[in-house]
Amino acid sequence: MDLMKMMRVGGAAAALCAWLAVFSATVAAQSADGSFSNPQRYVPRDGAVLYRTSCQACHMANGEGASGAGTYPALAKNVKLRTARYPVFVVTNGQKGMPPFGPMMDDEQIAAVVNYIRGNLGNDYKDTVTPADVKAIRK
């Protein structure tokens, strides 16, 4: 189903969020000099930058989440983030309307964005995720 038809059917927010995820992946792949190194992969390594370019469109700038045609859970003060394996699994594999970022991010990038989410946005989880932790969950 094309994007316009999805929007007419009532999934405007879901369609927009899916489009933004794909668009932000392409924008995120743009290197500092403005060239694209690979439009299928993210280039940034910093968790805050990855959050802004891949998560913020649906989960909002402060992680407060959103509701409309779809529901995008709040990441701010989210007790589900207490166990590091859960957000690693969700970011890597996707869940419900959230696309999987595993094919677009390497283990280091997923660890960085999960650590950012767990240590910011009103969360204060001190244990960090390593690229090795992500690799173990990918299997």
Rg (CA), the chain: 15
Q: Do residues 83 and 69 touch, judged by C-beta distance below 8 A?
A: no
How many distinct structural domains can be found in the chain?
1
% of the chain at pLDDT higher than 90: 63
Give the pLDDT of residue 31.
Answer: 47
Please report, for the domain that includes residue 55, its CATH number: 1.10.760.10
Task: Look up the domain containing 14 and give its range.
Answer: 3-138
DSSP state letter for 23: H
Q: Coil, strand or helix: which one is 115? A: helix
Cβ atoms within 10 Å of 132's Cβ, excluding its own: 9
| pTM of this structure | 0.73
Closest of 50, 58, 59 to residue 25, by C-alpha: 50
